[in-house]
Structure 1
Amino acid sequence: MMDIKIELVKTRKEKPDMNNLGFGKYYTDHMFEMDYTEGIGWHDPRIVPYHSLEMDPASMVLHYGQSTFEGLKAYRGKDGEIRLFRPEKNMERLNTSNKRLVIPEIDVEFGVEAIKKLVEVEKDWVPTGEGTSLYIRPFIIATDVHVGVHPSRTYKFMVILTPVGMYYKEGINPVRIYVEDEYCRAVRGGMGFTKTAGNYAASLIAQETAENRGFTQVLWLDGVEKKYIEEVGTMNIMFVIDGEVITPELNGSILPGITRRSAIELLRSKGYKVTERRISIDEVYEAASSGKLNEAFGTGTAAVISPVGELLWEGKTIIINDGKIGPVSHLVYDTITGIQSGKLEDEYGWITKVEAK
């Protein structure tokens, strides 16, 4: 495994109010960097002072969008320990994205070690308040200076950190979701299963429409029939219908969420029937009208669990569970956050500890 060089800042930044963080507003003193050169491979891993990038205007990432990223968090428990939640799954998923975008893969074990070391250097930035964490953003960009459509021969892998509070202003309270039936975010055979910048750029117009109408997020339907539910802009989605937990199956246009996977494993271990299959928006509305739609909730790193209290589709509104968080959502949220914070025993082997007491 490569040695990671460390260059520390001479003067630390003044830290923000850790009780009023918002999301993605503040950045720590240091970042991780590593370069790739064709014929050499990944090289020169280092932790350096956080800094701006100097890029040539012809850098390929700016023109052809060859970039991938991940998102995970570090949590400080009451015992002072800092915990990462399934970081190896993030690195594995980063490599899945890399394959699709013809970007060289990162060694999973080394990637986790780089993240641990950076978090250890920045341990004083890990907040302690309820619902707070240190958000970790690994990402890769193509750096070749060339205007021409082909994979880059050089890349930069970086990791930056930001202390954050709750992702949604509603916190764990149910959110209002707008069902998008005009625009398309992704289709099977495309890049919907990857974390790449273009997927999120494609979602912005619908997100803006939703926010202008007072909704928190967008629920995307499939890009072919505009009939089957796929995912929310920042989350996978689950429905509890007549006691059964149903979530759209992974079909190539849906991101394989790590929190989604954890929720499925958790619920099955608790005896719930969890089904991964195609589910149409009509089925959800029919379940609501017959009184069988018990709950709906999103799963994702940023919010962990976000209950859905309202859906709007083609002018028709449904209120789910009287706009309150339901027992399944509560169970998943309390268990996952309990494991992340160290309040509950990690019986699933999901936690990686950072030696940073």
Structure 2
Amino acid sequence: MSPYRPNPFFSTTNTFFVPSVGDRVDNAVAQAKALGHDAQAKAQELASKADNKLQDAKEAVKVTASDVVNPSPTGADLYARFALAGALGCAITHGALTPVDVVKTRIQLEPEVYNKGMVGGFRQIIAKEGAGALLTGFGPTAVGYAIQGAFKFGGYEFWKKKAIDVLGVDKARENRQAVYLGAAGIAEFFADIALCPLEATRIRLVSQPSFANGLAGGFLRILREEGPGAFYAGFGPILFKQIPYTMAKFAVFEVASEKILQSTGKSKDSLTSGQQTGLNLASGLIAGMAAAVISQPADTLLSKINKSKGAPGQSTTSRLVQMAGQLGVNGLFTGMTARLVMIGTLTAGQFFIYGDIKKALNATGGVEIAAIPK
């Protein structure tokens, strides 16, 4: 029997054909498979790119549609929304803290009677006049601070933007603390013009519970018996109190927010809704504490000067000097603990409410100088 001889035509080891037809067939099959895999991969890549483009197009359509349906406000519309957010923030917080303000004012006006601290003051008022006395002056407080909050927050955003326009972005960024202070001071001046009559009415109601039954009655009685000038008897001290308070409030809030963000290494835009709320509360609390200490002496004088009429012919300035001399440093800081609690809490609350309402109103055009790219 002859030995087995492979057919050289199909052999892969014989060198009769170099390379053999079998090898060529195998190579062709392998190349076809590779080409098929490459084609499949490229097809998948193209499909993925096409899908991404489609998603981008959908998002672009959504944004465009959103801008058409709910465009971002600008100009007077934007600042009106800032004003509304500020009005609600101030009215809600000041109104809610009316009981604390009543105790604080009583301690300032009658320290010889209310000399047991804030908690003791609450107990004394409730025991003597009932729990309802803690809401004395709620009407003028809520209305007055709603008006003031509108001018203060809306005005702050407006004057801050004006300062940037005048100085230019680079100089405004380099001097942003001065911009914060200046914008806050100007805004508060106009806010105090609106607030002063209502604050005078509130203090008269708190210091003299039998003076009138509420905001309208107290306001009209002062107007009728003492004339419109009586509403502005405390305008000097209210400026002396509110302007430093507001300047510290906004400047410290801005700096505190900036420092907290730097410590986290995040930008404000990258924060979640909860983190933004926490930032507003923490920065607001720090700002409120600083503002309370700075404005305490003027707050005491304001309470004193609105308690009763001045002597015939006596100017407001002479009354303030006389009161400050009589009170001394310790007297000017009477009720500091109550005011720290009140101002720290309400300032944190104001920035919390202001931030959330701004977002709800789509008022996102406020300028954050520190975040402006260099």
Larger of the two Rg values belongs to structure: 2
TM-score of the superposed pair, with normalisation by structure 1: 0.23
Q: Structure 1 or 2: larger helix share?
A: 2
TM-score of the superposed pair, with normalisation by structure 2: 0.22
Q: Structure 1 or 2: larger strand share?
A: 1
